Amino acid sequence: MIEKLGAQRDVDGVQYLLHQMKLEGISCSEDLFISVINTYRGVGLAEQALKMFYRIGEFGCKPTVKIYNHLLDALLSENRFQMINPIYSNMKRDGMEPNVYTYNILLKALCKNNRVDGACKLLVEMSNKGCNPDVVSCTTVISSMCKLGRVEEAKELAMKFQPSVPVYNALINGFCREYKIKEAFRLLGQMADKGIDANVITYSTVINSLSDMGNVELALAVWAKMFVRGCSPNVHTFTSLMKGYFFGRRVYEALNIWNLMIREGFEPNSVSYNTLIRGLCSHGKMEEALSVSSKMEGNGYSPNTITYSTLIDGFAKSGDLVGASETWNKMMLNGCIPNVVLYTCMVDALCRNSMFNQAQCLIEKMITDNCPPNTATFNAFIRGLCCSGRVEWAIEVFNQMGQYGCSPSVITYNELLDGLLKATRIKEALKLVSEMEDNSIELNSVTYNTILCGFCHAGLFEEALKLLGKMLVRGVKPGAITYNTIIYAYCKQGKVKTTIRLIDRVSMGGEWCPDIVAYTNLLWGICNQIGVEEAFMFLDKMVNKGICPNVATWNVLVRGLFNSLGHLGPIHILDDILAHA
């Protein structure tokens, strides 16, 4: 009766029957007392289970290792770390030797409390007491070390124990989390050499990491290897691959993976649905995303905060405030309490529609709803204000962040810098950069690119080139935006030959492959400084490298041609341009 009432979580019924047993002098067995502890655990009353344990003698039952283990596990389930050590000490005081299950609970408690070094010491204690750590012991500690970024240490520790699939999976997950995919493949090779078969978790972890890195082709190769080894995929495998296709803007193939998953009889879960919705939203397919959310609900998976935030963010980016508002209202009607991410998405939606007063009111509502805004919320607000030229208001919001317990991040500074530089407020922008350095906020590539663009916009080309030197000295790697900005600056100054040398150098060094923007800027510079015929030679070079000219490229060439007609008269080049186009 107690077991059945416990399964129904009827705590009052269980307590009544225990009281009856006590009155009638019926002793409580070990298994029955464990059932009582598990009843309390099931309803989140671990402290009540502890109180009952202290009365164990009243029910004619004595503490055992098994009872202690279940009690410790109940306390761990509610993260009652401060109670675990006294109970463990009490257990040893009662003369009971902890077994491997006891140690595994203690290891889990230490790791959940980020005390991995203590967990490593406990592993040694286990071995010294003749209680050999099992797969659970090793996996618990190694997983925690990997989560804390101590992957190499975890690998060294793993080599001291009997190799197993869960331990390898924990290590592979750790390396994949840091995108060290070569190390993950080495571990896969080790598993094969030792005759350990990788399972669906192993392969899915690698496929998911490759998809996050945008390397869907290699993810497909791992998928194929998985089938060759006779390992069937699961929902997570399909979802990871679909995510990779969406990331690579291959929507058709992503939807094919979804349809294949359904045809193979795999039932999508909430993660799968949310991945599909996010993929559709990221490509502006809002109607399809809404349709999927309806199917999700019809199949018994209620849309959660992730679903709603994805939809609201999608509507915001597509400029559909009505869609974002309707989704918000539906969320509230369905009883889904918005979190800070959802509020931030809605703030962004309002800002993209220049509804800044409403966005500010929503931030104030966050305070009253006990969901305070975070730095990301203010970043969305400041970005919206700066994009609309409301820089003064953005500065005011920036200065108020501390009142809400938020500190500006590098993203906050970058957004405000962009606003100031677009308004040609160079001195204030440079003062903000000094403030970043004073607050030990490292300038990243976005910061440098923002300042470079601002300098070029203001015609401060020499300052832009000096900043590039500073950027290189500080070890910040230039990217496409950096190089394109510098190419524009050189061309604007008439230093076309310097631009050509720069493009040749970075191309040969493999630092960066010049894109259509770089070549269009270069052609513009050549047309202005050298001549259209020279520009046409570079057009051929560009096409031979597989870079297709766009409308902007043709506009530059045609404009250059007509500007030169007065003194050169190269009518034949126009025919060549039209033929190429």
Contact 272, 287 (CB under 8 A): no
**Cβ neighbours of residue 430 under 8 Å, at least 6 residues apart?**
none
Is residue 428 domain-resident? no
Is residue 565 domain-resident? yes
The span from the CA of 524 to the CA of 557, in Å, is 7
Encode burial over 93-124: b for 16+ CB neighbours within 10 A, e otherwise.
eeebebeebbbbbbbbbbbeeebbeebbebbe
Asked whether the CA dihedral 378, 382, 384, 385 is positive or negative, the reply is: positive
Is residue 326 domain-resident? no
Encode burial over 410-439: b for 16+ CB neighbours within 10 A, e otherwise.
ebbbbbbbbbbbbeebbebbbebbeebeee
pLDDT tens profile 9-41: 888 888 888 888 888 888 888 888 888 888 888
The span from the CA of 147 to the CA of 174, in Å, is 7
pLDDT tens profile 403-422: 888 999 999 999 999 999 99
Least confident of 88-97, 187-196, 244-253, 303-312: 88-97
Query: Which of 163, 187, 183, 166 lies closest to 175 in space, CA to CA?
Result: 183
Look up residue 43 and give its two tokens: 């309803």
- pLDDT higher than 90, residue 506: no
Query: Which of 172, 177, 175 lies closest to 192 in space, CA to CA?
Result: 172
Query: Which of 434, 487, 490, 443 lies closest to 462 in space, CA to CA?
Result: 490
pLDDT tens profile 32-79: 888 888 888 888 888 888 888 888 888 888 888 998 889 888 888 888
Residue 568: predicted pLDDT = 47
Give Rg (Cα) of the chain: 32
Between the CA of residue 80 and those of 36, 45, 89, 91, what are the distances in Å? 19, 11, 15, 17
Residue 407: predicted pLDDT = 92
Is residue 555 domain-resident? yes
Q: What is the DSSP letter of 388?
A: T
- Which amino acid is it at 362? L
Question: 321-325, 535-539, 545-549 — which one is most confidently predicted on average?
Answer: 321-325
Query: Binning pLDDT at 50, 70 and 90, where does residue 446 land?
Result: very high
Look up residue 361 and give its two tokens: 């009111």
Look up residue 214 and give its two tokens: 């945008």
The span from the CA of 290 to the CA of 281, in Å, is 9
CA atoms within 13 A on the CB side of 289: 28
Q: What is the mean pLDDT of residues 380-407?
A: 93
Is residue 537 domain-resident? yes
Residue 536: domain span: 502-581
Look up residue 349 and give its two tokens: 């939606």
Residue 489: predicted pLDDT = 86
Residue 5: predicted pLDDT = 87
Is residue 261 domain-resident? no
pLDDT tens profile 134-170: 899 999 999 999 999 899 999 998 888 888 999 999 9
Least confident of 290-294, 346-350, 577-581: 577-581
- Which amino acid is it at 370? N
Q: Indicate the helix (H) or strand (E) that contains 59.
A: none
Is residue 562 domain-resident? yes
Compute the residue count for the chain: 581
Residue 366: predicted pLDDT = 92
Query: Binning pLDDT at 50, 70 and 90, where does residue 479 land?
Result: confident
The span from the CA of 133 to the CA of 98, in Å, is 12
Residue with tokens 């203590």: 118
Residue with tokens 């300098």: 455
**Strand, helix or coil at 69?**
helix
Q: What is the dihedral of CA 146, 151, 154, 155, to 10 degrees?
A: 140
Look up residue 79 and give its two tokens: 């993260």
Is residue 559 domain-resident? yes
The span from the CA of 108 to the CA of 165, in Å, is 19
The span from the CA of 400 to the CA of 378, in Å, is 10
* Mean of per-residue pLDDT scores for the chain: 89
Helices (H), 248-353: 251-263, 270-282, 286-298, 305-317, 321-333, 340-352
pLDDT tens profile 298-313: 998 999 999 999 999 9
Residue 580: predicted pLDDT = 55
Contact 282, 314 (CB under 8 A): yes
The span from the CA of 443 to the CA of 440, in Å, is 9
The span from the CA of 494 to the CA of 496, in Å, is 6
- Distance from the Cα of residue 201 to its chain's centroid: 20
Question: 102-111, 117-126, 390-399, 479-488 — which one is most confidently predicted on average?
Answer: 390-399
- pLDDT higher than 70, residue 574: no
Residue 86: predicted pLDDT = 87
Least confident of 180-194, 314-328, 484-498: 484-498
Q: Phi and psi (nearest 5°) for 541?
A: -60, -45
- pLDDT higher than 60, residue 557: yes
Query: Which of 31, 86, 87 lies closest to 59 in space, CA to CA?
Result: 31
Q: Is the pTM of this model over 0.95?
A: no
The span from the CA of 399 to the CA of 407, in Å, is 10
In order, the DSSP letters of 449-473 are HHHHHHHHHTT-HHHHHHHHHHHHH
Query: Binning pLDDT at 50, 70 and 90, where does residue 572 land?
Result: low
Q: How many CB atoms lie within 10 A of CB 165?
A: 16
Query: Which of 448, 392, 468 lies closest to 423 in space, CA to CA?
Result: 392
In order, the DSSP letters of 245-259 are HHHTT-HHHHHHHHH
Query: Binning pLDDT at 50, 70 and 90, where does residue 581 land?
Result: low
The span from the CA of 222 to the CA of 199, in Å, is 12
Helices (H), 474-549: 480-492, 496-509, 516-529, 532-544
Domain count, the chain: 1
